[in-house]
Amino acid sequence: MKLWLPFVKSAPTVAVVRLAGTIAAASRGSAALNDAGLAPMLERAFRRKKPAAVALVINSPGGSPAQSSLISARIRRLAEEHEIPVYAFVEDVAASGGYYLASAADEIWVDQHSIVGSIGVISAGFGFQDLIARHGVERRVYTAGKSKSMLDPFQQEKPEDIARLKALQEQIHEGFIDHVKARRGARLADDDDLFTGEVWVGAKATEVGLADGVGHLVPKMKERFGDKVRFVPYGMRRSLFQRIGSQVFGGLTAELEERALWARYGL
């Protein structure tokens, strides 16, 4: 039993929220990071017992631009509503959408080996037109609207489809850049490679302004809030079906896509 004494100030707490994995819209059995899945956890972290700060522990190679934006917007909204500072601590990687999440924090701290950045947009796929032709398969597509079959993987690529895709990517890329500039401001260096999809490691990320320094969760929070600071971890609540569903129903394609995201950074 804990004895409560009036007028005795309790130790400050830091809510620790772990954001690990690829970022994607929810699907059956999915363990991916998405706004709908993270919302209850984030709400509890910011609202419960008024923490001194919220620490985001991030390890993500990225994924969906929309989900990255939705999660980041929720973090900022809660931080401003409750007037709570947010600190991000990067483990292996915070790249692409993972860096989008990190930049929702007021400060970003990295390990000396953390990979940070990749501010860009990528689309990848396969072309099967030669494969089906070799096996005598005829592709039949009927559309109302000339762009409905854009980038059909079973048909030859069309220059107009590629141009359209690149135009869409440019719009998303501009939104990503605007977000980083708004969050990092004058801390960003005048570096031509900053928004090209390039990545930096450890202290180099600090030199270009993508991080505030090399530092780890516990010592950094003790430095800010004292040695008696308490850490309250928050994780996603997943049902038994969700815990095993991604293995049973996730599908080979989804698994390969996730592995490809991590593989870009040698992980």
Q: What value does the mean pLDDT of the chain take?
A: 84
Q: Which of 44-53, 195-204, 239-248 has the lowest mean pLDDT?
A: 239-248
- Window from 25-29, 177-181, 237-241 with minimum mean pLDDT: 237-241
Residue 88 has pLDDT above 90, yes or no: yes
- The whole-angstrom separation of Cα 206 and Cα 213 is 5
Residue pair 94/74 in contact (Cβ under 8 Å)? The answer is no
The pTM of the whole model exceeds 0.85? no
Contact 262, 64 (CB under 8 A): no
- Higher-confidence residue of 39 and 4: namely 39
Is residue 110 within 8 Å of residue 214, measured between CB atoms?
yes
Question: Can you tell me the distance from the alpha carbon of 197 to that of 96, in angstroms, rounded to the nearest whole number?
Answer: 8
- Could you read off the pLDDT of 65-81 as tens digits, one per residue? 999 999 999 999 999 99
How many other CB atoms sit within 10 Å of the CB of residue 32? 20
Give the residue-averaged pLDDT of 229-233.
Answer: 96
Residue range 215-234: mean pLDDT, rounded = 96
- pLDDT above 90 covers what percent of the chain? 58
> Whose CA is closest to 89, among 258, 231, 191?
231
Q: Which of 8-22, 140-154, 194-208 has the lowest mean pLDDT?
A: 140-154
Phi, psi at residue 57, to the nearest 5°? -100, 110
119: nearest Cα among 140, 101, 92: 101
Whether 48 and 92 have beta carbons less than 8 Å apart is answered as: no
pLDDT category of residue 240 using cuts at 50, 70 and 90: very low
94, 60 Cβ separation under 8 angstroms: yes
Burial of 254 (0-12, 13-18, 19+ CB in 10 A): middle
Q: What percent of the chain has pLDDT over 70?
A: 80
The string of pLDDT tens digits covering residues 6-39 is: 555 678 999 999 999 999 986 544 578 999 999 9
